[in-house]
């Protein structure tokens, strides 16, 4: 089910960001957990045959009146499966230069948040150890966002990290599969876009896997 709001709020990136942040703040923790498990199940099947690293992400967690809330899909159960195969990569951010790189985590039985992740600026979880790898070494990139539409257009949080990270794909002979990951409520009719915005190839929500179709409009 897509987000339903007056169209005037959805016509600009800033307006749509306000709408989606409001919606995500109202997500019940139990609903987020259930949706996340469904998304992980879909992704496990989608990524079964891949044998090169997959760049994923750790969700931003916030405390609201002493209650932890997840504002992004939690891919923790998928991460356990990927790290056991030795193919889990997570973003590490250079906050001064506003860039990010993929870091491949060492093979392990599971992801230990206290050992493998560290919360740096703005509470964003990043890999505590590992080694940097190039974009061309990835089989897939799991891309978070505030909103997506069925053409693969994505609205990020405004910092531009993923757009800059994915920009070299235009000149790359081997591009990883770009998979947008979100709750059903983050699907909208149209995401406002600019020339530099990167579309994803596939969307995965708790409802299933959806190949993106660009209409040319």
**What is the rounded average pLDDT for all residues in the chain?**
89
Residue-wise pLDDT for 183-216, tens only, equals: 999 999 999 998 888 899 999 999 999 999 876 5
Percent of the residues in the chain that have a pLDDT greater than 90, as a whole number: 64
Pairwise pLDDT comparison (133 vs 174), residue with the higher score:
133
CATH number, domain of 138, equals 3.40.50.10420
Percent of the residues in the chain that have a pLDDT greater than 70, as a whole number: 89
Q: Per the structure, how many domains does the chain have?
A: 1
For residue 164, pLDDT over 70 is answered with yes
Residue-wise pLDDT for 21-64, tens only, equals: 998 888 888 899 999 999 999 999 999 988 899 999 998 776 66
The verdict on residue 173 lying in a domain is: yes
**With bands split at pLDDT 50, 70 and 90, how would you rate the model's confidence at 172?**
low
CA atoms 28, 70, 196, 15: torsion sign: positive
The verdict on residue 62 lying in a domain is: yes
**With bands split at pLDDT 50, 70 and 90, how would you rate the model's confidence at 65?**
low
Q: Tell me the whole-structure pTM to 2 decimals.
A: 0.90
The verdict on residue 138 lying in a domain is: yes
Range of the domain at 129: 7-211
The verdict on residue 216 lying in a domain is: no
The verdict on residue 170 lying in a domain is: yes
For residue 8, pLDDT over 70 is answered with no
The verdict on residue 72 lying in a domain is: yes
The verdict on residue 2 lying in a domain is: no
Give the up-direction half-sphere exposure of residue 120: CA atoms within 13 A in the CB hemisphere: 12
Mean pLDDT of 89-110: 94
Residue-wise pLDDT for 112-126, tens only, equals: 988 999 988 877 889
């Amino acid at each position: 089910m897509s987000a339903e709001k007056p169209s005037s709020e959805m016509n600009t990136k800033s307006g749509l960001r306000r709408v989606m942040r409001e919606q995500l703040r109202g997500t019940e923790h139990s609903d987020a957990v259930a949706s996340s498990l469904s998304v992980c199940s879909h992704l496990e099947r989608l990524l079964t045959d891949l044998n090169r690293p997959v760049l994923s992400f750790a969700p931003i967690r916030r405390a609201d009146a002493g209650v932890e809330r997840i504002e992004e899909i939690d891919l923790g159960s998928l991460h356990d499966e990927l790290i056991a195969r030795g193919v889990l990569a997570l973003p590490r951010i250079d906050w001064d230069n506003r860039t990010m790189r993929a870091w491949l985590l060492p093979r392990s039985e599971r992801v230990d948040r206290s050992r493998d992740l560290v919360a740096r600026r703005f509470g964003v979880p990043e890999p505590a150890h590992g080694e940097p790898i190039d974009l061309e070494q990835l089989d897939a990139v799991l891309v978070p966002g505030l909103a997506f539409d069925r053409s693969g257009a994505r609205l990020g949080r405004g910092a531009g990290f993923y757009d800059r990270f994915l920009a070299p794909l235009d000149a790359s002979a081997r591009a990883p599969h770009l998979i947008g990951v979100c709750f059903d409520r983050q699907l909208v009719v149209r995401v406002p876009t600019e020339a530099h915005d990167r579309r994803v190839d596939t969307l995965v929500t708790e409802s299933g896997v959806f190949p993106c179709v660009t209409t040319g409009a």
